[in-house]
């Protein structure tokens, strides 16, 4: 008697799993940025901070940043020329204005990617980022578990997977 119910149970289990997976993909929705997949970028950039998704900044920003690693936000992040070239190539190829990611265009709204002198170097200074985080009180950025606006994983548990909807 249990045999006729087995296909039904299997079907319900499959449906439940699919809803869970598709729901997760939808949850990332417009706040999903494909995470870094290049091992050199992950190693070099991720050794000090979250290896930020290239689709969060325009190509001109990545070029400017990589051209001055000696002054990388107060640190000397100088690396060998071959690694720098590979990282730059990866970041530029997957940049917000190159990769065609859906939320990238919203994140860059109000930013001129063409004017390389004025393109932002900090994701946290993008108008959309500021708008999305405007309700976060100043004291929360200083909390011992956060300490910086660039510590995305402190609030977005799945940031390393590209999800920022928490």
**Structure-token pair, residue 149:** 């606006």
Tell whether 9 is covered by a domain.
no
Q: Is 117 left (phi over 0), alpha (psi -120 to 50) or beta?
A: alpha
Count of domains for the chain: 1
Taking the C-alpha atoms of residue 75 and residue 69, their distance in angstroms, rounded to an integer, is 8
* pLDDT above 80 for 63: yes
* pLDDT above 90 for 11: no
Mean pLDDT of 37-50: 94
- Full residue range of the structural domain in which residue 144 is found: 30-161
Please report how many Cα atoms fall inside a 13 Å half-sphere around the Cα of residue 20, on the Cβ side: 6
Tell whether 14 is covered by a domain.
no
Asked if residues 85 and 69 have their Cβ atoms less than 8 Å apart, the reply is no
Tell whether 125 is covered by a domain.
yes
Query: Would you state the pLDDT for residue 139?
Result: 92
Tell whether 54 is covered by a domain.
yes
Tell whether 52 is covered by a domain.
yes
* pLDDT above 80 for 23: no
- For 74-126, give the DSSP string: TB-----HHHHHHHHHHHHHTSHHHH--HHHHHHTTT--SS-TTTS-S-GGGS
Tell whether 3 is covered by a domain.
no
Mean pLDDT of 2-21: 51
Tell whether 4 is covered by a domain.
no
Model pLDDT for residues 105-135, shown as the tens digit of each residue: 777 877 765 655 677 899 998 888 888 899 9
Model pLDDT for residues 153-166, shown as the tens digit of each residue: 999 999 999 998 86
Q: What is the CA radius of gyration of the chain?
A: 20
* pLDDT above 90 for 54: yes
Tell whether 58 is covered by a domain.
yes
In the chain, pLDDT over 90 holds for what percent of residues? 52
Asked if residues 42 and 36 have their Cβ atoms less than 8 Å apart, the reply is yes
Flag the least confident range among 19-23, 132-136, 139-143.
19-23
Mean pLDDT of 58-73: 94
Asked if residues 121 and 71 have their Cβ atoms less than 8 Å apart, the reply is no
Asked if residues 45 and 116 have their Cβ atoms less than 8 Å apart, the reply is no
């Amino acid at each position: 008697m249990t045999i006729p119910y087995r296909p039904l149970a299997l079907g319900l289990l499959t449906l439940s799993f699919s809803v869970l997976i598709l729901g997760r993909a939808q949850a990332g929705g417009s706040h999903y940025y494909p995470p870094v997949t290049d091992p050199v970028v992950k190693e070099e950039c991720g050794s000090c901070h979250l290896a930020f998704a290239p689709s969060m900044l325009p190509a001109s920003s990545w070029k400017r940043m990589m051209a001055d690693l000696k002054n990388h936000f107060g640190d000397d992040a100088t690396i060998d020329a071959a690694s720098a070239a590979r990282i730059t190539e990866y970041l530029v190829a997957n940049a917000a204005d190159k990769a065609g990611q859906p939320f990238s265009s919203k994140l860059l709204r109000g930013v001129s990617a063409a004017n390389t002198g004025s393109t932002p170097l900090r994701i946290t200074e993008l108008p959309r980022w500021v708008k999305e985080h405007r309700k976060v009180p100043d004291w929360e950025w200083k909390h011992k578990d956060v300490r910086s606006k660039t510590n995305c994983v402190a609030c977005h548990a799945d940031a390393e997977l590209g999800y920022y909807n928490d």
